[in-house]
Structure 1
Amino acid sequence: MRKLFTHHPFFIRLFHWEYWSFTAIYGWIYPVFTLLCIRAGGKFFFTAANPTIKYGGFLMEQKQDIYPLLPNGYYPLFFHVPAQTSFTQIEELLQQHQFTFPLIAKPVIGMQGKAVKKINNVDELKHYAAICTVDFMVQELSPYTKEVGIFYHRIPGEANGRITGIVAKEPMTVEGDGVSTLYELIMNVPRYILQIDALKQMYGKDILQVLKKGEVKVLAPYGNHARGSKFIDRTEKADATFVASIDAVCQQIDGFHYGRLDVMYNDWEDLQQGKNFHIIELNGAGSDPTHMYDPKHTLLFAWKEIIKHWFILWRISKKNHAKGHRYMTIKEAVAMFKSNAAHVKQLDAVALKL
């Protein structure tokens, strides 16, 4: 009976707010955001936060426009593939950029890791290109293996930026016992049960394989909460050295004042010193303070963090607005949300075919 409550998807979600929908988490505090919009003259203020990024990085920003803003050497190389590009052209781009497998393919307008896939060979890339109905990019696989999200902001006019959150991302991982199938190992972990449909699709018949005793397998190489990764709050690691190193990098990103860096690295001391890491995503005004998703945190903690960051976002936007950067009108915002909803449907359709 106890397992019914701890391992049934309905109860896993019910008793763990981190799995609730966006609306279920944010809906209770929308009035705060509405109040900030009213204070901005009845407009959506967030677009002024990061003037060089479309919509301030709230929604519908394109990765191929953001990566060039980053300092050289701080991100994996990539090339952009418009939808319906022939595979012959894609192969030419592979040769031109001298890319070797494995690679990462992902939509240029992303959402919660949807339709992101590790590509191991030409056939897999050909399949991805055939089913992907949106523009995507092919990117070198970062050589680094650990991932953190770093929430950064700098008030315009202030000399130094700040870090208000660090989240470590633990991908879904199982260890074999020499007896249980991969499916059985997955079903023993409540967090992984919520991903079982995607894992069945990913592994096919291989989900019935038996791992050797002590064999460790990473089920999915994506540091995304919506795709099963566990988020651990490591904000306490934001010491003066770390903040100064990240601030030095972020101040080289033109027009970037607020958002989250998703970073791959191997050694914390190197990262702390600002060395040997890749920024694999730069998220702007729409960034969640993802350290709040640590299972140890309450929903009340999450609400406090969200509201705190909304006020920071409002302050930054107000400062930039005073410099001439415009706010988004309600009409423009409605069009943006409609475009985003349509795009998400496309991503979901692509993800189902992967």
Structure 2
Amino acid sequence: MQLRHRLHKITHWEYWSTFSIYMPLLPVWLYCAWKARTLLFFHGANPSIKYGGMAMESKKEIYDLIPRQWIPKTFFASSETYFREILLELQSQAIDFPVIVKPDVGLKGLGVVQINSLNELENYQKNSDCDFLVQEKINYQNEVGIFYHRFPDKKKGKITGMVKKEFLSVKGNGKKTLRELVMENPRSAFQIKAIEQNSENEMQKIVPENEEIVLIPFGSHTRGAKFIDISTELTETLEQKIDEICTKVNGFYFGRLDVMFENLELLQNGENFKIIEINGAKSEPTHMYDPKHSLFFAWKEITKHWKIMAEISRKNHEAGFPYLNVKEGFLALKNNLAIEKKLRKISWVD
């Protein structure tokens, strides 16, 4: 079975490393840099977000830019915050368990966990050495990523991709254990360590027939979610609503909105959804990860979005936004890689 999983990883590009996917596109990045007149053109994509949202950006600062009615109740805490202050904030905002906790500076869904009790939250806080956010859990069962951009000299923006995220799950047959079901599917088998950590006492139990178990309730590709390209389901009404919201996010021109929603019909009508995160310049056009798409399709989409980002950066620079110092920019990228490495190693909840 391990050999089968290895072969699956080799023959399905969506599991390849970031370096393997992006390195062949270095000439494209250099061309975009030449057009924008800066190697670090990502900085100008979103002037209100630190480094344009490519590295070291604070989620709290981004949430502060978004109109309150479109995001979950959220507050900032840290390892230095007294736990009683966290309790008071939970009470004042009327946030009930379960809650979602995420590092303030993070990426790829790493370190994002669901906390089900005060004891778990206190344990998280005691074992955390970084700032974090506590957020109400949105009870909508569906999630999409919506890629949006707007040129600074235009009043109207555009959606260039929409992806539905299917949370990693298994369905029982009344015969096999949870662990056996997990190992049958390469997508879930690649997440076995995280699944065992979260469901240690359940792994050897037989899963009843047709019972579906969500293994990781987060729409992150790096945490096993399956991405389905539903760009063809985009409606003019939804595009207008997203544009209306994004134009109110000062200094935001390029990135992806991660959105929880009740059902597709209501989403298409611009109703019953919440923005759980906005990602800036490092956003990928994640609809490219649909298994039906080839690596060449992915390269085409990345190229298209890099060119858009470079053009936005150039226009913002012409309007007076300064270019980023190269030394500072590469230091930020280096620090961001260190944070990613650290987050991959941390066990957040005992």
Question: 1:149 — aligned with what?
Answer: 145
Q: Distance in 2 between matches of 1:23 and 1:17?
A: 12
Which deviates more, 313-322 or 125-134?
125-134
Give 1:35 shift.
2.5
- Cα offset for 1:90? 2.1
Give me the TM-score of the superposition, normalised by structure 1: 0.95
How far off its partner does 1:348 sit? Answer: 2.2
Looking at structure 1, the residues matched to 245 and 269 of structure 2 have their Cα atoms a distance apart, in angstroms, of 11
Count of matched residue positions in the alignment of Structure 1 and Structure 2: 350
Secondary structure in structure 2 of the residue aligned to 1:73: helix
Give CA deviations for 1:86-105 in whole Å, capped at 9, x if unaligned: 32332232223222100001
In structure 2, the CA distance between the partners of 1:323 and 1:200, relative to structure 1 (3 Å rule), is same
Shift of 1:341: 2.1
Q: Mapping of 1:178-217 within 5 angstroms?
A: 178-217=174-213
Q: Which residue of 1 aligns with 2:57?
A: 61
Select 1:315's aligned residue among 308, 311, 328: 311
Q: Is the 8 A contact 1:43 1:328 kept in 2?
A: no
SS at match of 2:64: helix
Task: Give the one of 221, 239, 252 matched to 1:243.
Answer: 239
Cα RMSD (Å) of the superposition?
1.5
SS of corresponding position for 1:159: coil
How far off its partner does 1:352 sit?
A: 6.8
TM-superposed deviation, 1:259:
0.5
Partner of 1:331: 327
Matched, 1:29 2:25: yes
> Given residue 77 of structure 1, which amino acid in structure 2 is its aligned partner?
K
Aligned to 1:117: 113
- Provide structure 1 residue ranges, at least 5 long, that are not aligned to the other structure: none
Distance in 2 (alpha carbons) for counterparts of 1:284 and 1:112: 13
Q: Which residue of structure 1 lines up, in the alignment, with residue 9 of structure 2? A: 13
- The question of whether the paired residues in 2 share the 8 Å contact of 1:47 and 1:326 is answered with no
User: Are the aligned partners of 2:127 and 2:348 in contact in 1 as well (CA < 8 Å)?
Assistant: no
Please tell me whether the aligned partners of residues 178 and 210 of structure 1 are also in contact (alpha carbons under 8 angstroms). Answer: yes
For residues 38-77 of structure 1, what are the alpha-carbon distances to aligned partners after superposition, in whole Å with 9 as ceiling and x for unaligned?
3333441111111111111111111110112111210001
Cα offset for 1:4? 5.9
Output one character per residue of 1:253-276: Cα deviation in whole Å (capped at 9) or x when no partner: 111111000000012222222221
| 1:264 alignment partner in structure 2 | 260
Counterpart Cα distance in 2 of 1:293 and 1:285: 18
Which of 107, 128, 131 in structure 1 is aligned with 2:127? 131
CA distance in 2, matches of 1:84, 1:208: 39
Cα distance in 1, alignment partners of residues 118 and 76 from structure 2: 17
Q: Distance in 2 between matches of 1:324 and 1:202?
A: 49
Residue among 53, 68, 80 paired with 1:72: 68
Q: Are the counterparts in 2 of residues 232 and 293 from structure 1 also a CA contact under 8 Å?
A: yes
* Alignment CA distance shift 1:341-1:34 (3 Å): same
2:237 & 2:124 partners in 1: Cα distance? 42
Partner of 2:41: 45
Q: Distance in 2 between matches of 1:173 and 1:350?
A: 23
Aligned to 1:345: 341
**Contact residue 133 and residue 346 of structure 1 kept, 8 A:** no
- 1:46–1:327 CA contact under 8 A, matched in 2: no
Q: Is the 8 A contact 1:257 1:316 kept in 2?
A: yes
Aligned partners of 1:76 and 1:140 also within 8 Å: yes
Most deviating of 42-51 and 260-269: 42-51
Residue 214 of structure 1 aligns with an amino acid whose one-letter code is N
Instruction: Indicate the percent of aligned positions where both proteins have the same amino acid.
Output: 45
**What's the TM-score once normalised by structure 2's chain length?**
0.96
> 1:353 deviation in Å?
6.1
